[in-house]
């Protein structure tokens, strides 16, 4: 017989272990894609198409050059094979440089390449081993270089996100306030119907929107896209702000009005500051909704794509390189992450940090 | 300070609900008036109409003779203490008190002086830098009170301000509120559903039911001379016991016959009831006016069902058919459940009600 006290403790420890295991698994499931896109965005093109995918990037490329059949034979250290793998046999220094640039993320000059070739000649055909460092952000630099549109598209995307926040928060917030404070006929039906539009896939809405936006002259313009995004986002904004306004007692506003404030003053000075966490959360939803949206943006833009469209386009065609797309994706995630961190404080508040 | 007059005041919600039904009421200058009634009787709606937070459907509100019926709340110069305190959570105690003054464009040094003064009065002087979330319910209540006092209003409106406090603090705050009222001498309208709160604080009580005023009077008046059966049962704890009796008129004598007893009224009581011609009459006897006595002097004898000792006194409940009657008796001699008790009435404290109209009858003019 085991001591019941020990038995109890063991059981408790086992339960705790199980809990940690579950939490760990969930975290792993969530973090795995994030981890892979991060690693992928730093890999060289050669590594990116290896199988299995390397778990971490290398920034020092070990190479070997010797005399080949056509000229000089370049071999690259392969982590999976644990050996040098021959990749290119040429006597054209420029061709070799382009290969290094495209597949290995290096940026040598023709002279540097020629220098190694001369060394091979000097040793009389003996292999020359050398290792070159590449820049950590080489993929990012390449991404912004090869996609001429990236920077203007980034600015456009920011404009669209800001405009979407402004539109959805002013309209949705006002509706949320009305839903929270006033009783009117058909309130519940209306409240449900604002969610209704979210049930349609974005493409289904985007196609008729092409015609509408073209008629009012907003096709291929940031304003047009943010209008479309607002339609979808407002549903969420209404629900978030309505619940936050509902949580603020009416008597706080009434007290302000009894004590000398106008209705507007009471709203601006009392309700709005208290609703700020909820509004921040709604703003975050709007931002992420507008920032990440791609499908409608592909349909509704032509010469002025958004950043998400530019990232998508790097996947297309013969020049598509997944590591560049990953770098673009990471570049795209960055503003969203920064924005979320910026308003994190207020969201914490909404999740029960501070009670009104 | 000010006098408040409600003339024909009415509030409808939609077509069907009549929350306040054509009431007339004058609140005297410096008076502490309590609106008392069960929930849904319209007392809070009345208060909110005076504050301007509820639109008036019909009728007029005068404050100091000035018609304020359609003025916004801020133009009425009233202040209000809410049931949930309604202190602003994002402002410190100091800002909570100062904000209304700032809205009224009081000079800065005057604001500072007044905030400190009312904080002293309400005993929150050391809490001025705190936020409401750091305060207890009682302290938040004091902040709400301080804020209301600081603006020096014509009328104080209080909407069940003590109902969120725990029992002990509630009784304590009654005394303090009363003391503050003595000091500020402000006309106060206080809403509550707690009759003992009303009794202990009011200069006058307005008993309301279903949007109508049932009785207006001092605490003694509504207690001793309840105008109808509703007031008699709503005021007082335990409530008035009612006995439904048959009236027998024999010569000049008036006898009230109840299945358990027959009561012969005194000549004066009979004289007061001489205009009453109906055959049934309700006797209203407050629990403390039911007396325990010896068997030979008893009006009737019953078996005690439940005894609730209260320290200073005991409450004895017994059953009469399907009715439960309660007696408030001295703590000693102690009565045990199941014991046979002998009961009589304190004859001069009996009240009579018409069972049809429920109104009191036979009062001295």
Mean pLDDT value across residues B121-143: 91
Edge-first strand order for the sheet with A83-90 is A83-90, A72-78, A60-67, A128-133
Copy the structure tokens of residue B98: 């100062």
Whether residue B238 is predicted with pLDDT greater than 70 in this model: the reply is: yes
Query: Does residue B109 share a domain with residue B32?
Result: yes
- Closest-CA residue of chain A to B153: A259
A273 touches chain B (CB under 8 A): yes
Query: Does residue B216 share a domain with residue B138?
Result: yes
Go through A15-32 and write b for each residue having 16 or more CB atoms within 10 A of its CB, e for each that does not.
eeeeeeeeeeeeeeeeee
Copy the structure tokens of residue B79: 């202040």
CB B343 within 8 A of CB B292: yes
| pLDDT value of residue A261 | 93
pLDDT band per the 50, 70, 90 thresholds, residue B227 = very high
A·B CB contacts under 8 A = 61
Closest CA to A146 of A309, A328, A292, A299: A328
CA dist A60 and A285 (Å) reads 41
**A137-151, A306-320, B132-146, B273-287: least confident range:** A306-320
Q: How close, in Å, is residue A333 to chain B by CA atoms?
A: 34
User: Which residue has tokens 């009579």?
Assistant: B352
B17 touches chain A (CB under 8 A): no
Subunit contact B72:A270, Cβ cutoff 8 A: no
| Structure confidence by residue, pLDDT tens digits, B279-316 | 999 999 999 999 999 989 899 999 999 999 999 999 99
| Structure confidence by residue, pLDDT tens digits, A106-164 | 888 888 989 988 888 888 778 899 999 988 888 898 888 888 788 899 999 999 999 99
The per-residue pLDDT of chain B, averaged, comes to 92
Which residues 208-267 in chain A show a CB within 8 A of chain B? 249, 251-252, 254-262, 265
pLDDT band per the 50, 70, 90 thresholds, residue B253 = confident
CA dist B94 and B301 (Å) reads 64
CB-CB neighbors (< 8 A) of A257 in chain B: 52-53, 72-74
- Closest-CA residue of chain A to B50: A258
Query: Does residue B227 share a domain with residue B245?
Result: no
Mutate to test the interface with B, among A259, A267, A274 (most CBs of B within 10 A): A259
Q: What is the residue range of B181's domain?
A: 4-234
| Structure confidence by residue, pLDDT tens digits, A15-25 | 999 999 999 99
User: Which residue of A261, A273, A355 is in closest CB contact with B133?
Assistant: A355
CA A55 vs. chain centroid, Å, equals 21
CB-CB neighbors (< 8 A) of B104 in chain A: 260
- Percent of chain B at pLDDT > 90 equals 74
Whether residue B140 is predicted with pLDDT greater than 50 in this model: the reply is: yes
Subunit contact B72:A354, Cβ cutoff 8 A: no
| pLDDT value of residue A1 | 64
User: Which residue of A252, A262, A273 is in closest CB contact with B74?
Assistant: A262
Q: Where are the domains of chain A?
A: 1-40, 57-136, 144-353
Query: Does residue B261 share a domain with residue B226?
Result: no
User: Which residue has tokens 């020092």?
Assistant: A60
Looking at the 3D structure of chain B, how many domains does it have? 2
- Closest-CA residue of chain A to B51: A258
Query: Does residue B133 share a domain with residue B12?
Result: yes
CB-CB neighbors (< 8 A) of A252 in chain B: 86, 88-89
- Closest-CA residue of chain B to A251: B86
B53 touches chain A (CB under 8 A): yes
Subunit contact A256:B53, Cβ cutoff 8 A: no
Q: How close, in Å, is residue A255 to chain B by CA atoms?
A: 7
| Structure confidence by residue, pLDDT tens digits, B196-214 | 999 999 999 999 999 999 9
Between the CA of residue A304 and those of A295, A311, A335, what are the distances in Å?
15, 13, 20
| Structure confidence by residue, pLDDT tens digits, A96-106 | 999 998 888 88
The ipTM estimated for the assembled molecules is 0.85
Q: How close, in Å, is residue A182 to chain B by CA atoms?
A: 13
Per DSSP, helices labelled H in B52-129 are: 93-103, 108-121
- Closest-CA residue of chain B to A270: B88
Q: How close, in Å, is residue A344 to chain B by CA atoms?
A: 19
| Structure confidence by residue, pLDDT tens digits, A182-240 | 888 888 888 888 878 778 777 888 888 888 888 998 888 889 989 888 888 888 899 88
B191 touches chain A (CB under 8 A): no
CB-CB neighbors (< 8 A) of B74 in chain A: 257-262
B89 touches chain A (CB under 8 A): yes
Mean pLDDT value across residues B16-20: 91
Q: How close, in Å, is residue B21 to chain A by CA atoms?
A: 23
For B124, what's the count of Cα atoms within 13 Å in the CB-facing half-sphere?
A: 29
Subunit contact B103:A259, Cβ cutoff 8 A: yes
Query: Does residue B264 share a domain with residue B197?
Result: no
Mean pLDDT value across residues B234-262: 90
Subunit contact A257:B83, Cβ cutoff 8 A: no
Query: Does residue B273 share a domain with residue B182?
Result: no
Subunit contact B82:A256, Cβ cutoff 8 A: no
Mean pLDDT value across residues A297-308: 88
A268 touches chain B (CB under 8 A): no
User: Which residue of A257, A262, A270 is in closest CB contact with B88?
Assistant: A270
CA dist A347 and A70 (Å) reads 64
Q: How close, in Å, is residue B243 to chain A by CA atoms?
A: 45
User: Which residue of B72, B80, B133 is in closest CB contact with A255?
Assistant: B80
Compute φ and ψ for B310, nearest 5 degrees. Answer: -120, 10
Q: How close, in Å, is residue A347 to chain B by CA atoms?
A: 17
- Looking at B234, B263, B297, the residue that finishes a domain is B234
- Looking at B234, B250, B277, the residue that finishes a domain is B234
Mean pLDDT value across residues B25-53: 94
Subunit contact A274:B84, Cβ cutoff 8 A: no
- Fold designation for A144-353: MetI-like fold (1.10.3720)
Give the number of other Cβ atoms within 10 Å of residue B62's Cβ: 16
Subunit contact B151:A260, Cβ cutoff 8 A: yes
**A111-120, A332-341, B92-101, B356-365: least confident range:** B356-365
pLDDT band per the 50, 70, 90 thresholds, residue A353 = very low
Mean pLDDT value across residues A315-340: 84
pLDDT band per the 50, 70, 90 thresholds, residue A356 = very low
* Three-state SS at B122: coil
| Structure confidence by residue, pLDDT tens digits, B332-355 | 889 999 999 999 999 888 999 999
Between the CA of residue B308 and those of B168, B216, B330, what are the distances in Å?
20, 32, 12
Q: How close, in Å, is residue B328 to chain A by CA atoms?
A: 41
Better-predicted residue by pLDDT, B363 or A114? A114
Whether residue A355 is predicted with pLDDT greater than 70 in this model: the reply is: no
User: Which residue of A251, A260, A274 is in closest CB contact with B90?
Assistant: A274
- Looking at B184, B209, B234, the residue that finishes a domain is B234
A355 touches chain B (CB under 8 A): yes
| pLDDT value of residue B144 | 94
> Which range scores top for mean pLDDT: A85-99, A183-197, B210-224, B266-280?
B210-224
Q: How close, in Å, is residue A346 to chain B by CA atoms?
A: 14
Mutate to test the interface with B, among A249, A260, A353 (most CBs of B within 10 A): A260
Whether residue A351 is predicted with pLDDT greater than 60 in this model: the reply is: no
CB B273 within 8 A of CB B361: yes
User: Which residue has tokens 């349909």?
Assistant: A299
| pLDDT value of residue A289 | 87
Edge-first strand order for the sheet with B360-361 is B261-264, B253-258, B241-250, B280-285, B351-353, B360-361
User: Which residue of A258, A262, A273 is in closest CB contact with B90?
Assistant: A273
**Residue B88: CATH number of its domain:** 3.40.50.300
Whether residue B152 is predicted with pLDDT greater than 60 in this model: the reply is: yes
Mean pLDDT value across residues B243-252: 87
**Residue B351: CATH number of its domain:** 2.40.50.140
Q: How close, in Å, is residue B282 to chain A by CA atoms?
A: 44
- Percent of chain A at pLDDT > 90 equals 30
Subunit contact A251:B52, Cβ cutoff 8 A: no
Copy the structure tokens of residue A346: 């207020």
Q: How close, in Å, is residue A181 to chain B by CA atoms?
A: 14
CA dist B223 and B326 (Å) reads 17
């Amino acid at each position: 017989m085991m001591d019941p006290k020990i038995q109890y403790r063991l059981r408790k420890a086992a339960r705790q272990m199980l809990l940690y295991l579950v939490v760990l698994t969930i975290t792993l499931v969530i973090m795995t894609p994030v981890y892979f896109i991060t690693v992928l965005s730093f890999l060289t093109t050669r590594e990116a198409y290896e199988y299995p995918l390397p778990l971490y990037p290398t920034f020092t490329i070990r190479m070997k050059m010797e005399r080949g059949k056509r000229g000089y034979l370049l071999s690259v250290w392969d982590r999976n094979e644990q050996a040098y793998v021959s990749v290119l046999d040429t006597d054209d220094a420029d061709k070799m440089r382009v290969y290094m640039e495209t597949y290995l993320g290096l940026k040598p000059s023709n002279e540097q390449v020629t220098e190694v070739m001369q060394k091979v000649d000097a040793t009389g055909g003996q292999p020359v081993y050398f290792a070159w460092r590449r820049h950590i952000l080489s993929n990012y630099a390449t991404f912004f270089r090869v996609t001429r549109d990236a920077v203007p598209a980034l600015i456009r995307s920011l404009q669209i996100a800001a405009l979407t926040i402004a539109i959805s928060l002013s309209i949705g917030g006002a509706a949320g306030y009305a839903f929270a404070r006033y009783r009117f006929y058909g309130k519940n039906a209306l409240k449900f119907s604002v969610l209704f539009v979210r049930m349609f896939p974005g493409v289904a809405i985007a196609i008729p929107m092409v015609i509408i936006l073209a008629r009012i002259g907003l096709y291929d313009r940031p304003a047009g896209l943010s209008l479309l995004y607002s339609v979808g986002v407002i549903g969420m904004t209404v629900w978030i702000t309505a619940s936050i306004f509902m949580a603020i007692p009416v008597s706080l506003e009434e007290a302000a009005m009894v004590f000398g404030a106008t209705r507007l003053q009471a709203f601006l000075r009392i309700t709005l500051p208290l609703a700020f966490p909820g509004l921040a959360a709604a703003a975050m939803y709007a931002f992420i909704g507008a920032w990440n949206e791609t499908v409608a943006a592909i349909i509704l833009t032509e010469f002025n794509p958004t950043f998400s469209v530019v990232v998508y386009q790097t996947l297309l065609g013969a020049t598509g390189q997944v590591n560049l797309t990953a770098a673009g994706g990471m570049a795209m995630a960055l503003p969203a992450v920064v924005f979320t961190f910026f308003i994190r404080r207020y969201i914490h508040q909404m999740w029960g940090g501070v009670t009104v | 300070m000010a006098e408040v007059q409600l003339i024909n005041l009415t509030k409808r919600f939609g077509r069907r609900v009549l929350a306040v039904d054509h009431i007339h009421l004058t609140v005297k200058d410096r008076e502490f008036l309590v609106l008392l009634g069960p929930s849904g009787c319209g007392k809070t709606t009345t208060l909110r109409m005076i504050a301007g937070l509820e639109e008036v459907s019909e009728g007029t509100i005068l404050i100091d003779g000035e018609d304020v019926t359609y003025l916004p709340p801020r133009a009425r110069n009233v202040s209000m203490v809410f049931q949930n305190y309604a202190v602003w959570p994002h402002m410190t105690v100091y800002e909570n008190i100062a904000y209304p003054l700032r809205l009224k464009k009081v000079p800065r040094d005057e604001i500072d002086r007044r905030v400190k003064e009312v904080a002293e009065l309400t005993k929150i002087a050391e809490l001025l830098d705190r936020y409401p979330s750091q305060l207890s319910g009682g302290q938040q209540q004091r902040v709400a009170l301080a804020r209301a006092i600081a603006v020096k209003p014509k009328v104080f409106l209080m909407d069940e301000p003590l109902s969120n406090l725990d029992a002990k603090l509630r009784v304590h705050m009654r005394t303090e509120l009363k003391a503050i009222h003595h000091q500020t001498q402000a006309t106060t309208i206080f809403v509550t559903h707690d009759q003992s709160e009303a009794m202990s604080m009011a200069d006058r009580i307005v008993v309301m039911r279903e949007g109508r005023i049932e009785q207006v009077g001092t605490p003694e008046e509504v207690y001793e001379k309840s105008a109808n059966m509703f007031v008699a049962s709503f005021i007082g704890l335990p409530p008035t016991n009612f006995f439904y009796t048959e009236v027998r008129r024999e010569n000049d004598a008036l006898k009230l016959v109840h299945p358990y007893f027959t009561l012969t009224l005194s000549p004066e009581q009979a004289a007061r009831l001489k205009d009453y011609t109906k055959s049934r009459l309700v006797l209203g006897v407050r629990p403390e006016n039911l007396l325990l006595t010896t068997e030979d002097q008893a009006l009737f004898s019953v078996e005690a069902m439940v005894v609730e000792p209260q320290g200073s006194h005991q409450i004895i409940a017994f059953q009469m058919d399907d009715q439960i009657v309660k007696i408030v008796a001295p703590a000693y001699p102690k009565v045990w459940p199941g014991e046979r008790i002998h009961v009589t009435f304190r004859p001069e404290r009996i009240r009579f009600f018409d069972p049809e109209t429920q109104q009191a009858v036979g009062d001295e003019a």
